[in-house]
Structure 1
Amino acid sequence: MIVDLTPAEGEAYDPASDPRVADYLAMSDAALRQAADPAAGRYIAESTTVVRRAVAAGHAPRSFFFARKHLPALADLLEQFPDVPAYVGEPELLERIAGFHLHRGALAAMQRPAPLDLEAVLRDARRVAILEDVADHTNVGAIFRSASALGVDAVLITPRCADPLYRRAIRVSMGTVFQIPWVRLGPWHEAVAHLRAAGFTLAALEVTDAAQSVDVVAAENHERLALILGTEGAGVSERALADSDVQVVIPMAAGVDSLNVAAASAVAFWELRSR
């Protein structure tokens, strides 16, 4: 159902008072969207590729939002969802509504899928990643992409971790946040209890005096391993270190002390993969 947002000649248009585009207002305010989108049961998929991957994952669109020139490229999607409104207009109007230029072509407001059950996600998993308070959406998206590519079965995120379904995290992940199961954890002690009950060894990726080289830990080929990745800068918390069974370090050369958490995750996922 195509809805042209172009106002009539001489008509004043205020996006803030247009309920049709409420899902797309204040798109550039990351803090606001991270709170508002989950509360509203929505997320925003950005780019035609990501929109298609969201639909392919079985996620239901609430509406589409794109420049009129993209109609031919998205015609098949609109036919698939004839009752879902597709708001179209000239790029300048859409930029005024969203607050940024839609250089990737299209947006869609999607219905958030129901949260997954932690025990069900862990049941058949052998490798999981735990993102402890990772706050940067780019890093979250990059970690999800590496996890999906390198054999991680699930991602668990702590309450203060950035939203994997924030549009930047989705875009950086290239839609892999739709492919790999993930669960937002409750209290840390409960999460640890679930992991231990499921037979996981907890490994913290952190530089400590007791840390073992990642290749040494990999050679042990743990049956079930949960890799804890800490927030940018501060790293893995003292609480999580105390609960870990082993600390893991990636040996550095040439005086470099560490890698960005997303880069380090990719190295660790590959080295610690299930064999």
Structure 2
Amino acid sequence: MAELVEVDDPADPRLGDYRDLRDVQLRKSFEAEHGLFLAEGEKVVRRAVEAGHSPRSFLMAPRWLDGLADVLARTDAPCFVLAESLAEQVTGFHVHRGALASLERRPLPSVPEVLAGARSVLVLEDLVDHTNVGAVFRSGAALGFDAVLLAPRCADPLYRRSIKVAMGAVFALPWTRLPDWSTALDEVSDAGFTTVALTLADDAVPIEQSVAGLDRVALVLGSEGHGLSPRWQAMADRHAIIPMREGIDSLNVAAASAVACYVTTRRTAT
């Protein structure tokens, strides 16, 4: 069972995993160096632990202890208990969900492992906003997709903001990074998927038409600013568009992913 450790000093060195959470660059380097990630909120903490990630420690306000009592009973990791005002001094923001956990990262699976048995996958190229990455994961998980592949420069799905927006979907949906951006879509096609790129290319057809009759589909989405790179557009098997009213040419990538996932999971395969 977790040891409950009451803390009254926000400078306590044992709280290092939780310090300065608003400093994105610092946190990215710190978490990579120490092989950890943070989960925020009772539901997300629970889902991370149930997905098999080993806790390093917990940080909670007293009123959240009962809600996670069963999780704390199954681990030897310490639980630092402190007032919410002190937690804010440690983290740099108001922890309104009351509970944080620091957990160990696991080695990423290979691309073939993630694709094994999958029929519908998302492939993300250079999405750099953690909120968008989390939202795409949440839509994919909710709408029946089986896996996510990320280009090397995509934002980290295990960054706190990504996990929070995804509501823990990053623990439910298998994912990994593509080792080589330049040949990534060829690797997905070789695995038996038809790659369907969401793009405003002149030859793009409505998404319903693009995915109709396909068995294994890989939806390909590009970055927030410029969309898909010319290379990935050229490598994709098909180009698709979400039809819109005149004068509006695109959706935010997170919104586009939700629409495309909804249509794709309802396709009729031949």
> Under a length normalisation based on structure 2, what TM-score does the superposition of the two structures give?
0.93
Query: Which segments of structure 1 move beyond 6 Å, counting only runs of 4 or more?
Result: none
Q: Give the distance between the partners of 1:108 and 1:255, measured in 2 at CA.
A: 46
- Name stretches of at least 5 consecutive residues in structure 2 with no aligned partner: none
Tell me, what secondary structure is at the counterpart of 1:226? strand
Shift of 1:31: 2.3
Tell me, what secondary structure is at the counterpart of 1:258? coil
Q: Give the distance between the partners of 1:266 and 1:93, measured in 2 at CA.
A: 38
Shift of 1:34: 2.4
Do residues 84 (structure 1) and 77 (structure 2) align?
A: yes
Do residues 132 (structure 1) and 125 (structure 2) align?
A: yes
2:141 to 115, 140, 148: 148
* Aligned position for 2:68: 74
* Aligned position for 1:10: none
Do 1:202 and 1:244's aligned partners in 2 also have CA atoms closer than 8 Å? yes
Q: Deviations over 1:12-58 (max 9, x none)?
A: x6x2xx43111111111122222321331111000011001111111
Tell me, what secondary structure is at the counterpart of 1:28? coil
* Aligned position for 2:175: 182
Tell me, what secondary structure is at the counterpart of 2:179? coil
Moved more, 190-199 or 36-45: 190-199
* Aligned position for 1:111: 104
* Aligned position for 2:55: 61
Do 2:46 and 2:68's aligned partners in 1 also have CA atoms closer than 8 Å? no
Tell me, what secondary structure is at the counterpart of 1:232? coil
Do 1:27 and 1:98's aligned partners in 2 also have CA atoms closer than 8 Å? yes
2:248 to 256, 260, 265: 256
Q: Give the distance between the partners of 1:272 and 1:128, measured in 2 at CA.
A: 10
Shift of 1:254: 4.3
Q: Give the distance between the partners of 1:204 and 1:183, measured in 2 at CA.
A: 19
- Name stretches of at least 5 consecutive residues in structure 1 with no aligned partner: 8-12
Q: Deviations over 1:164-221 (max 9, x none)?
A: 01111111111110000001111123423321221221111010111111121132x2
Q: Deviations over 1:123-148 (max 9, x none)?
A: 21111111111111111111101101
Q: Give the distance between the partners of 1:68 and 1:245, measured in 2 at CA.
A: 54
Q: Deviations over 1:58-101 (max 9, x none)?
A: 111110001123222222222221x2110111112111111111
**How many correspondences in the alignment?**
265
Do 1:127 and 1:153's aligned partners in 2 also have CA atoms closer than 8 Å? yes
Q: Give the distance between the partners of 2:257 and 2:161, measured in 1 at CA.
A: 19
Do residues 222 (structure 1) and 214 (structure 2) align?
A: yes
Do 2:196 and 2:211's aligned partners in 1 also have CA atoms closer than 8 Å? no
For 1:98, give the aligned amino acid.
T
- Output the aligned Cα RMSD: 1.4
Q: Give the distance between the partners of 2:92 and 2:217, measured in 1 at CA.
A: 43
Do residues 4 (structure 1) and 1 (structure 2) align?
A: no
Q: Give the distance between the partners of 1:78 and 1:214, measured in 2 at CA.
A: 46
Tell me, what secondary structure is at the counterpart of 1:162? coil
* Aligned position for 1:122: 115
Do residues 42 (structure 1) and 36 (structure 2) align?
A: yes
Q: Deviations over 1:234-274 (max 9, x none)?
A: 11111111111111100111421111111111111111225
Do 2:55 and 2:103's aligned partners in 1 also have CA atoms closer than 8 Å? yes
1:194-205 mapped onto 2 (5 Å cutoff): 194-205=187-198
* Aligned position for 2:152: 159
* Aligned position for 2:224: 232
Q: Give the distance between the partners of 1:4 and 1:183, measured in 2 at CA.
A: 38
